[in-house]
Amino acid sequence: MARELEGKVAVVTGAASGIGLASAEAMLAAGARVVLADRDEAALAAACARLGEAALPLRLDLLDPAACASLVPRALAMAGQIDILHANAGTYIGGDLVDADTAAMDRMLQLNVNVVMKNVHDVLPHMIGRRTGDILVTSSLAAHYPTPWEPVYASGKWAIHCFVQTVRRQVFKHGLRVGSISPGPVVSALLADWPADKLQQAREAGSLLEPAEVAQVLLFMLTRPRGMTIRDVVMLPTHFDL
């Protein structure tokens, strides 16, 4: 693989597993140093030990306001600059709204919406000052279609889709690119909360994506010429019937 991200520094949230880990692996292979941020200290340590010295572990809980606010300054102290922010951390609630736990709803919306907005807010002064930077957000197919089996999750992703597109229009004048990737169902821990019948149907049909497939699309977005922004990619398993 060409080392197209040589000299770049990326920060990835939710980086100890799933899409976040695959994203970090892809960017490391392309030559970047990557700050992997996650609350799972053991998984983070194991991942970074395997990935080598260019993988920098940053243990923090983004649901803690003080810890969330420390993401950017701590990453800068570790790596000196931030060229790429992949705001990936998130959680999932599926099923009927009437059955949802409201505390879990609060936690999901805080992580999937508020934390993303705060992380992007906090990195903007650094990127604007350098007149360059890429911000990518992990969204979802649910941001584009009102999936009836996940109303809370889908509503949060619709909010993030709007956020990404509006912020992009505010900051492109500073040389920044902002985009999102919206995959269909990905093999990850988030699928644990899918309705059992829906998950079984997806498995039988072969209609799930692998995290590494999502990461390859993220790398494609990051390696376009600076005059081109890939605003949003919707990617589906070929056999996914929605």
Q: Please pick, among 92, 153, 158, 194, the residue that the annotation labels catalytic.
A: 153
The candidate with the shortest Cα–Cα distance to 56, out of 36, 72, 84, 38, is 36
Angle at 153 between CA 90 and CA 177, to 5 degrees: 55
- Alpha-carbon distance of 63 to 114, in angstroms, equals 9
Annotated catalytic residue 92: no
With beta carbons less than 8 A apart as the criterion, state whether 218 and 136 touch: yes
Sheet containing 33-38, strands listed edge to edge, beginning at the edge strand earlier in sequence:
55-59, 33-38, 9-13, 84-87, 133-138, 176-183, 232-235
List, by residue number, the catalytic residues.
153
